[in-house]
Structure 1
Amino acid sequence: MFKKPLSGIKTSAPLRSSDRRKLKQRVVTTFDVSSEDADLLVPDGIQSVKFSTHLEEPGVAYLAPDGDPLWFTLGKGSDDLIPTVYTLWKRRNILPVLSTPAAVVPILVGGADLMIPGERELVSILQYNHSRENPTLSPPLAVGRMALPSDRMAEGGQEKGKAVLVLHTWKDHLWELGTKGDQPEPLPFAPEPTESAPISALEAPPEEANPGVDQPTTHALANLAINPPEESAPHSAGPSYSPQEISSLLHMTLLQAISSTIPSSAFPIPATLFYTNYLLPSRPAFPALLVPHSGPTPRDASPCPSSAEITIKSSTHKSLTAFLKAEEKASLLTVKAPQKHSQQTDILITSVNAKHPSLLGHHRYATLKDVEATAAKKAMREGKAREAQAGSGEVKVTELWKPHQATVGLFDRMGGDPTNIYTLADVKTFLNSYISANSLVNAQEQAYINLDEALFNCVSSKAKPGKSKGMESIESGPAEFMKREELTKAILERMQSWYEVSSGKEVVRKKGEIKPIQVVMKVRQGRKVSTMISGFEPFLVVNAEDMVEDLRKACAGATSVSPIAGKPANSGLEVLVQGKQSAAVVEYLTGKGVPKKWVEVTDLSGKK
């Protein structure tokens, strides 16, 4: 569908809050995801853009703030919402899964359909990498619509024709609209043999695959497997560890955390912070490699239990206090009950035994923290590579925030470094992890977050002057809960504003709030209209003297540069262009690489 460039792309526009809520509800209802997952898949700042395919079919794409296309519709007035590869990389299990050998994937990316006619159910397509020791499944690489019912595919019939009508693939022109990040890591796959015939009935060798459209592609569909989404029904959610197995994995997690050298200065640590900051990040990324699942595995389920199962509530201990006391009895750590009449209700971990004999036999493994760090490094390398290729291309503006005053204590509680500077995504990640770890989602209304002491102290403190008008209720009296979006906004307003501007190899980071370049048209000297440009200095690629000369030629009129009138010295320069020249100025600035969203045009001339 997107094997050729899109045409007729309109300017993207942010969705209104009401439209975002409707889109989020469609995602929750259609794909059976939780409200928290829907916030990730329909984030704040999501934008919509209209386009046409090379077949002149109209469509709408929904873009994340960073430009990644997350959802799209095809057809005029269509309500059929389709996730992109970027969305499936965030949540792999929202669609049924169909796997195919590695030799077929380049054919799909080239625009061919999977061949073998039918059901119109959406599916994601993965690459099955065969290995006797470590078979794996790639992240989703394509999205399509079933042309053949899954039960007929499982029967091993000899039908020929299309099995899946491919709509969108990794590396197609819709994918190219986004940040083009690296694929997530593949997951281990170890299917259990069953008495019934395997779902894959087309056993032609991969060597027969070639870019043909009909018969060759049919032969390439070897080892076909269909797995329902994990969240669609309880029986298809995959195997679960027993409480005893969870307890064993938690014990290994504690050994991993202790062997990672927790600084002595960190003690004493409240139990909940120890669990959030050290135990949860130390859980194994691939637990089945440490403790093989002993229970029966449903035929249509993934054989690999998830790391998300490794929680205190799923173990034999049932409570964090019981777990810690059991480990204290094993001499791995020491705990202390809170003092009477103290506001602290958590027990305290006063020390850990880094010389315990069981640590000598502990083999370090890949943790969730390691996997996330690896993904972050890949994303950073990809970003640097894109910047290097861009050279003197588009200016990248990133708004940043640093913990300040009331938010310092909150970030300390959330496990962050109060001296660091964070992006919006970083702040949301810390906050969402803290909310999840402390079970702060309101039981009656999941759109709201219950405020614990740390959150309440932060948002009830005085915000920056001229900021949000929605905090009066909190500042005038105690509030028990807030909407997640309002809570995030309130925290940001109490942090210190920073920004980073990069162009090619030049990167500048400064304290303060960056504002758009001002292009103002107003009447000067009687009836003459002039266009004045100011605030361009932070954007690196715009020089006042060059702008004066370039606009003089482009507008065929007089230009000049001078300090901004009415402002203190060193407040910046103002370029004046004779006439009503906003269109020419905007074209000049965007041609230099300044994003259009950072150019603000105001007409005070009173003339149309």
Structure 2
Amino acid sequence: MFARPIRVKSNTAIKGSDRRKLKADLSTAFPSLSADELSELVPNKEELNVVKIYAHKGDAVTLYVLHKNPLFFELEKRLYPTVYVLWRYPALLPTFMTWPPVLQKMVGGADLMLPGVVVPSSGLPDVKHGDYCSVTLVNNRAPVAVGTAAVSTGEMHSLGMKGRGVCVLHTYMDHLWAFGDKSGPPSLPNAECDGQEEYEEEYEVNEMEMEEEEVVEKCVEEEQCPGETVTDQACSGVDALSLAEQEEEKGDNEEEDGNQDDQKMPQETMDALLLQCFLHALKSKVKKSELPLLTSTFLRNHMFACCPSGKQIDIKKSSYKKLSKFLQAMQKQHNLVRMKELTKGVESIVEVDWKNRQLRSFHVPEETEGEVAPVQDEGEGTSLYHPPEITTMYSVSSRLEPLFLDVQKRKGTILQPAEVKHLVTEYVKKNELVDENNKNYVTVDPILCDCLLERSEYQEIGSLKWDDLFSRTLGRMQECYQIVYPGQRPIQKKGHIEPIDIAVSSRGSNKKVTLIKNLEVYGLDPAVVATALQHRVQASSVLQPIPGSKDKVLVQIQGNQIHQAGNLLLDHYQIPRKYINGLEKAPKGGKKK
């Protein structure tokens, strides 16, 4: 929850009575702490500050800070230790072990998924749902994350180590950690691991599974820039773990200098990565026929595609902070591009200086040289396009909250259909509601009655078929969707995804024009689609801003081109037919490809 900047509301010294209360609360929450350890964490005579902050989602959090380091944070009247405390007392919480690359995902706001958990020879720690737990890496016993168990240990095994394992709240390298002295974790050898080599084969398998199954804990903001992904700062954090032993051997002064350099490096590295991807995209992706090109499309479809494997672009971790400022620097300092606001509030790249010395001298990195020049398809896109993965999901409504209360799924929790079915099945089994005479039916208890039945059905229906039970449950949840663009974090939004809309309109003298909108929702550049369609039908096309819609434009092309537009979207871009409206309005007898 501290993956993005926090806002400080107040910072005051703690009162004597509050100090005693804090010590009592810590003793209750963490009974393994001795009296001496409690006195060390909450000293009587040293200044201890209470800092009230707001996380980026608006959550009110209280920090207890000693010697400039946050030791504990209080969320919803529950105290949690920070990594600074866990580095002093690594055995304070039950611990789950994972691989170093997973830290990148957790720093970006993701939970720890069970496929990413390394099971030691002693087995998993015994935890219940909601228990405190920490996360360590296989090469170091120093915790790097704090959270709560998503399920009990028994459920982890029964689920086949699939799904969410730890709901991560705070990690090394996040903004709560940065509130302190920004020191690195100590090097604590892991007794369970004789060496990372013996886990290499298992790691390769687990890493593949994590790529398929990892689910981001927080829904990213709908207006979030596509570049806001897991940061290079997290990557440097993984490297910092492996260098911990070397840093400890240095003197105190050298350590301080090294820490300052570590803070500068991610920003400088990100600046260099942005410039490399920018030049790479201009030299091998962007063509003159694409201009003018929306800046957001340039980032999403071109710069991301030029990012070297193992790295990810995060503009907020650069010195520019915003895409517009970076492009302005490229325009003013390097004279590489010229930008213009073609529609109000929407900037486009309208010109590229192809003869610029810096651009001409840039060499495409060998690592991706084979990928940067895909075969052109007669104007139908100068870069490889992969349609996004779209998944229908469901949000828990206030009416259904009692049904999911036992598994802590509150109002607003977003679930996949299979997860809803599993939780409903578990509820029925736990409460022994399966009809003894006919196992195809489920007895309706008071909670199911209130959640799923209409008032007129209260006295009439005493049982439901399994299929009816699931369909009624999904029908009373709010439909959502998750969309995953290639190489980016999943985005979850409420409601139905907007389909691509194709319509025909009449202009003066009864001339027909075809209008296409919502291409941006599926990661398509309207300018590229318009050019490709123009080449297919040999007719003129224009782009028009959509009134009241931010960063969206309408493609208009002469004539009734529904057939050709449909074929382009279905065959070339592989957009599923169910996400395209208006194909039925094509003229009868039109040529089919």
- Do they superpose with TM above 0.5? no
TM superposition score normalised by structure 2: 0.34
